[in-house]
Amino acid sequence: MGLRLKYNIALFLACLIGLLAAAAISYSIVQKSAVEEVKRSANLVRANALAVRSYTVNNIDPLLSDNNDVLFLPETVAAFSAQTVFATLQKQFPEFDYKEAALDPTNLADLPNELEKSLINQLRDDPDLEQISTIVEKEGNKFLTIAFPLTIKQKGCLACHSTPDAAPPAMIDLYGPDHGFGWKLGETVGAQIITAPMAIADKRARETGIILIAGFTVVFILVFAITNFMLGRIVLRPVRLMSSAAEKVSMGDFSVPEYKKPGNDEISSLSLSFNRVRRSLERAMSMIDD
């Protein structure tokens, strides 16, 4: 096996291992940043919902809730307005979803599905959890679902969510006395559940991964080409010339011209030494002939 082949096999193996390692590392980095990106967009949806909630509580409720006992306006309820505003937003971003789900909801439209129920239960079991997320697949597309706990922190919530007797009668007329009651201060009754699509971030992650791998491949090809060229010029060609000269000299043929490799690297000094050995040999031979 020639030197060039040995060198190329070693280089190829090193490049292959390097490329695989680079692919694995870049895949995990890119995947992580894709999840971060989806989380950012989910946080934006949540921030919008929280803003609508606080606008409803601080600006709308004081104006409209005086008549709650007679005429109950759901528009004064933060959970209602946050979800209604999101429904409008969703027309432009149908792949996103926002829901305020509760295990025993006032509005049955807020009943959680199995996944949402398990997220709410996990948040109830661990009060220190600020959020939990999971990746779900729907019709072949991946989505990130994040749940933030909805905990009863203010006594005011119990005016409508403790017992049907305490709640405004007009609200009972609208929603009935069977759901959304019995909640306690400090209890996590449900969760804000946001679903955001992974497809766009995934696609970008794949593209970035492909660009990275292509970049590495180009670098490796360049390394291959340049080092092969250098190997030929600096090592292989001079060694081949010296070896064919040595072959002839060893047979007593001193007619081949002396070869001196330009420069002052190891091969150059080898070519000089070889020439000296050759001259000594030539002298010795001619002395014997004499």
User: Given the rule CB under 6 A, which residues bind ligand HEC?
Assistant: 68, 74, 77, 79-80, 83, 100, 102, 105-107, 110, 150, 152, 154, 156-157, 159-161, 171, 175, 180, 189-190
Nearer to ligand HEC, 14 or 108 (CB): 108
User: Which backbone phi and psi does 153 adopt, to 5 degrees?
Assistant: -105, -20
Nearer to ligand HEC, 184 or 240 (CB): 184
Burial class (CB within 10 angstroms; exposed 0-12, middle 13-18, buried 19+) of 251: exposed
Minimum distance of ligand HEC from residue 134's CB (angstroms): 20
Nearer to ligand HEC, 156 or 263 (CB): 156
Minimum distance of ligand HEC from residue 158's CB (angstroms): 8
Minimum distance of ligand HEC from residue 64's CB (angstroms): 10
Beginning with the edge strand found earlier in the chain, give each strand of the sheet holding 141-151 in spatial order.
97-102, 188-197, 141-151, 132-138
User: Which backbone phi and psi does 69 adopt, to 5 degrees?
Assistant: -70, -30
Minimum distance of ligand HEC from residue 79's CB (angstroms): 3
Question: How does strand 132-138 pair with strand 141-151?
Answer: antiparallel
Question: Rounded CA gap, 227 and 218, in Å?
Answer: 14
Minimum distance of ligand HEC from residue 74's CB (angstroms): 5
Nearer to ligand HEC, 6 or 153 (CB): 153
Nearer to ligand HEC, 26 or 106 (CB): 106
Q: Which among 147, 40, 45, 144 is positioned nearest to 89, based on CA atoms?
A: 45
User: Residue for token digits 């390097």?
Assistant: 18
